[in-house]
Amino acid sequence: MEVARELRRALDQQELRVYYQPVHDLQDSRLVGVEALVRWEHPERGLVPPGEFIPIAERTGLIADIDAWVLDQSCRQMYQWLAQGAPLSFLAVNVSSRLFARRELYAQVAQVLHDTGLDPAFLELEVTESAVMDDPEDALEQLHRLRELGLRLAIDDFGTGYSSLLRLKRLPVQKLKIDQGFVAGLPWDEDDAAIVRVVIALAKSMGMQVHAEGIEQVEQARFLLEQGCDLGQGYWFGRPVPAHEVDWSRAPTISL
Ligand code: C2E
Ligand code: MG
Ligand code: MG
């Protein structure tokens, strides 16, 4: 209850921050996109990670306001970056499964795109498997409507929930994000390696892009590249940072 009350205040007093984590093309190591990740700059507790307040925000309904705020802020930022000539091709924003249940997502996203002026082709929304699989028919309809706005859709944390492959095939989704839990064991853990190979093959055969999260070591990036994974994100490439620390002008120095 107390955290919920504080969160309300955090929104009103602008204590939330959007951090951006770089996403690199594994083929040539270029920075190609960013993922927006929310933080709470608490006056006493310091920078609070989303894992500590998103679940509470979801239970209290505040999540709709938080996600709308993050979407608005990050779309404005992306608009600015593009205006400055940043070679970024996408901004990824997380969307809570709770927003799916409430069916107000379409109107919210349309509003933000209108307000910020960001070309929807640069926006990617990340949804989790469970958001989509809980009520597949409804989710399918909502995803198709979102796609009509001209944005792209990604499944986040793929492999941690349950997916019906039959349903996955019908989803208007352009990307699968391999969960960091599978990347952690690469390249030595044989189970992780097998799972990652299969997910990459699955995504490719369905015409989707594959994006791996949680890359902390160069060996992991190399394995993923060898297996045909398109994009990589993780501490090895760069941590989530405030907007002014995102250095899109730097030439790629990382070589796999
Ligand atoms: P996610 O969307 O899967 O984001 C990836 C998480 O992995 C981020 O944690 C990121 O900081 C972390 N990460 C990135 N690279 C590495 C790495 O190399 N090693 C390790 N160990 N971790 C890495 P973060 O920022 O704490 O966010 C956690 C989760 O909170 C996100 O997972 C997402 O589900 C949720 N979240 C974050 N921002 C938002 C938001 O604005 N709205 C909603 N609804 N959820 C959000
Ligand atoms: Mg995400
Ligand atoms: Mg994830």
214 lines ligand 1 (CB under 6 A): yes
CA distance 237 to 256: 11
Mean pLDDT of the chain: 93
235 lines ligand 1 (CB under 6 A): yes
Q: Is the pLDDT of residue 128 over 70?
A: yes
Q: Which backbone phi and psi does 178 adopt, to 5 degrees?
A: -75, 125
Q: Is the pLDDT of residue 252 over 80?
A: no
pLDDT range class, residue 137, cuts 50, 70, 90: confident
**Cβ atoms of residues 205 and 232 within 8 Å:** no
CA distance 79 to 72: 11
**Cβ atoms of residues 183 and 189 within 8 Å:** no
Tell me whether residue 124 is exposed, middle or buried, using C-beta atoms within 10 angstroms of its C-beta: 0 to 12, 13 to 18, 19 or more: buried
State in Å: Cα 127 to ligand 3 middle.
9
Whether this prediction's pTM lies above 0.95 is answered by: yes
**Cβ atoms of residues 195 and 176 within 8 Å:** no
For residue 251, CA distances in Å to 28, 30, 79, 87, 248 come to 11, 8, 21, 11, 8
Task: Write the pLDDT tens digit of every residue in 41-59.
Answer: 999 999 999 999 999 999 9
> Quick one: tokens of 77?
């930022």
Q: Is the pLDDT of residue 121 over 90?
A: yes
Can you give the length of the chain in residues?
Answer: 256
Around ion ligand 3, residues with a beta carbon closer than 5 Å are 156-157, 213
**Cβ atoms of residues 149 and 169 within 8 Å:** no
